[in-house]
Amino acid sequence: MSIQPILRAVVCAALVALRLGAGSGKTVAASDAPRADAMRYRSGVRNAPGKRRLNAAQRQQVLQSLREKTGWQSLAFDEAGFLVCPEPQVINGGSAAARRLLGAALNGAEVYELENHNASLAINFARLTAGVTYRFFNSDAAISESSLQLDFADFTFLRGDELACRAFDVGVAILHELAHGVWHLRDAESDGAEPGACENYINRIRRELRLPERQTYQARVRLGTLEPNPLTRVIAELSFVSGRNTVKPQLYSLRWDAESVGPIIPVNQAALASAMANVR
């Protein structure tokens, strides 16, 4: 049964589950930190130490996507787990806007730790936590640390046009979250503000990469089925467009099983309940 979209849900696509400003950061004395870390006061983007670190395959997935998005083929994780670009002058394609954003994160005063939260129902694709400031108890040294949490399994649930999938991969998700943290760009909070300042910048990156642009921050939600599961599920859907200002813009669609990826926040719970009743 084909059912028209019935409600809208806040789903990050980079899909931020924690709005910036929704929580305040806290300060922790280094002597109270849960783990000893010689790199505590080094800024940049790093693979999180400890149990949340990205494994080798996940690190390679991140590097492959970010190299494509930025054109920086020398991007790598160093021995301390920090993302570095030894030869930023060597560029092979990519987006200037992506290089500007990632460069600001790599060379900024804060640290963003990439964490593995695979198969977490609490995280939809990716989210950025509120920063924690660490201060060394007997000096003026301090640094703000934010966790950039990634659920790699969520990306395996994506179904749709290949170009839309490339426009919504793990590298784009990381850049989306960094745009929140580095420049404090916000997502759309109402229909009239779509797609929001953050996605407007990420769409600039997509344009430079000749990828379709995301039309809204909020995903359309409907009841339906997705292969290979024949059961009726809650399906989230995003639309992308290329050639927006041309005579014949090209539309692309991206869908996923919202129940498997993680909880969504429907605007109208009653509409969902009604639709569920209609398919029983």
In a domain, 99, yes or no: yes
Within a domain: residue 104?
yes
Write out the two tokens for 25. 């950061």
In a domain, 253, yes or no: no
> Which of 54, 25, 78, 2 minimizes the C-alpha distance to 184?
25
Q: Rounded to an integer, what distance in angstroms lies between the CA atom of residue 9 and that of residue 126?
A: 16
261 assigned to some structural domain: no
Instruction: Find out whether 151 and 123 touch, Cβ atoms under 8 Å.
Output: yes
| Average pLDDT score, the chain | 82
Least confident segment among 101-110, 111-120, 231-240, 260-269? 260-269
Read off the DSSP letter of residue 72.
B
Q: Give the total residue count for the chain.
A: 280
Q: Cis peptide before 228, with omega less than 30 degrees from 0?
A: yes
- pLDDT 10s digits, 159-182: 999 999 999 999 999 999 999 999
Q: Which residue has the higher pLDDT, 26 or 257?
A: 257
CA 71, CA 91: separation in Å to the nearest integer?
5
Q: Is residue 8 part of a domain?
A: no
Does 237 reside within a domain?
no
pLDDT score at 19:
32
Taking residue 258's Cβ as centre, other Cβ atoms within 10 Å add up to 22
pLDDT digits (tens, 9 = 90+) for 24-71: 455 555 444 444 455 777 899 999 998 999 999 999 999 999 999 999
pLDDT at 131: 73
Question: Domain span at residue 51?
Answer: 13-211
Domain assignment of residue 156, yes or no: yes
- Given a cut of 70, whether residue 148 has pLDDT beyond it is yes
Predicted TM-score of the model (pTM): 0.80
Q: Does the residue 186 lie in any domain?
A: yes
* Nearest-angstrom CA–CA distance, 117 and 265: 20
Residue 86, both tokens: 């030894």
- Tally of domains in the chain: 1
